[in-house]
Amino acid sequence: MSSTLIAEQLLNGLQFGLMLFLIAAGLTLVFGILDILNVAHGSLYMAGAYVAAQTMQWTGSLLASIVVAAVVTGVVGLVIELVLIRKLVVRDHLAQVLGTFAIILIANDLVKMLWGPAPMMMNMPASLSGPVRLLPDLLYPAYRLLIIAVGLALALGLYLFVTRTRAGVLVRAGASNRQMATLMGVRVPLLFLGVFVLGAVLAAIAGALLGPVTAVQAGMGEQILILVLVCIVIGGIGSMRGAFVGALLVGFVDTAGRAFLPTLLKTFLSPAVASSVGPTLAAISIYLLMAVVLVFRPAGLFPARG
């Protein structure tokens, strides 16, 4: 295995981690502050992807797709918060999970009604569709570099927002102790609304950005949501830093598992055994990681509530 291959796989791990972070950021924010597990976060991601794909077909511009997807999904998030989430916040977790699960079912059927059951076409702009030569013998897809760039920029932006702005202080206060924040005069309903819409917008950006490299179809949200849940559980629910570290860990471990494990196993197992054990082990590697983290840090790596 050459060093460029290892470098490329590390880059892949970073890219996949950032891809997951885009979705995890919104989910952890909503979970941390509203204390509600919004299992429909994946549906917002799907909504973003569909709106982006439609915009892409009309305009051909990736930037326009991302902006329109963010705005439309933000409005959808606003409506969902006002109509449903507001009422679920005071209920127990079972009601919250059932309520948001209902959104998944409705969203999947709505998407099929609007766009049909077949997956939707969303191709990347021609300028980004080829590979870029990073090193003499290291080619890397331009579009994946874009995902890395946007992921890092968004992470930095959220970091500055949470640590440097007044709204960020309120968000942190709400996450660490909601009751205390209320008593100190934070207007909680407005804060909740803002956070939920922000979560929806982040999910939509992720959906729009990942649309060109994944299948835009009904049910795409649930597929990725499980991985994202693993990220925020590892990182510590409600913590933005935790979501970032958790997503990167999952990205690296998952990619390394798929890239290196089968080859590694072949060195000390017979090829037949290695080829059947390798993929299975790679598939459970991130869940092993989660189990290990939870044994030593039951609240995740960076618990939001001290």
Distance CA 32, CA 93 (A): 14
Closest approach of other proteins to the CB of residue 293, in Å: 21
With binding defined as CB under 8 A, does residue 205 bind other proteins? no
- Taking alpha carbons only, the member of 74, 6, 45 closest to residue 227 is 45
Min. distance of Cβ 27 from other proteins in angstroms?
16
Binding piece for other proteins, criterion CB under 8 A, among 77-85, 88-96, 116-124, 149-157: 116-124
Percent helix, percent strand, percent coil in the chain, to nearest 5: 80, 5, 20
User: Of 106, 139, 167, 184, which one interacts with other proteins (CB under 8 A)?
Assistant: 139
We find the least distance from the C-beta atom of residue 68 to other proteins, in angstroms, to be 20
Between 240 and 253, name the residue whose CB sits nearer to other proteins.
Answer: 253
For residue 112, state whether it binds other proteins (rule: CB under 8 A): yes
Q: Interface with other proteins includes 135 (CB under 8 A)? A: no
Most distant CA atoms of the chain, gap in Å = 66
For position 84 contacting other proteins by CB under 8 A, the verdict is: no
Spatial distance between the Cα atoms of 51 and 59, rounded to a whole number of angstroms: 12
Whole-angstrom distance, CA of residue 70 vs CA of residue 76: 10
Q: Among residues 86 and 112, whose Cβ is nearest to other proteins?
A: 112
By the 8 A CB rule, do 104 and 222 touch?
yes
Site stretch for other proteins (CB under 8 A), options 7-15, 26-34, 40-48, 95-103: 7-15
| Intra-chain end-to-end CA distance of the chain, in Å | 44
Residue 119 Cβ vs other proteins, minimum distance, rounded to whole Å? 4
Is 174:238 a contact under the CB 8 Å cutoff?
Answer: no
Nearest by Cα to 237 from 40, 63, 37, 101: 37
DSSP state of 119: P
Q: Does 2 bind other proteins (CB under 8 A)?
A: yes
- CA 3 from chain centre, in angstroms, equals 30
Residue placing its CB nearer to other proteins in the complex, 36 or 44: 44
- Name which of residues 49 to 68 contact other proteins (CB under 8 A): none
Among 8, 24, 107, 235, binds other proteins (CB under 8 A): 8
> How many beta carbons lie within 10 A of that of residue 168, not counting itself?
16
Q: How far is the CB of 262 from other proteins (least distance, A)?
A: 8
- Residue number with CB closer to other proteins (117 or 298): 117
Applying CB under 8 A, does 19 fall inside the site for other proteins? yes
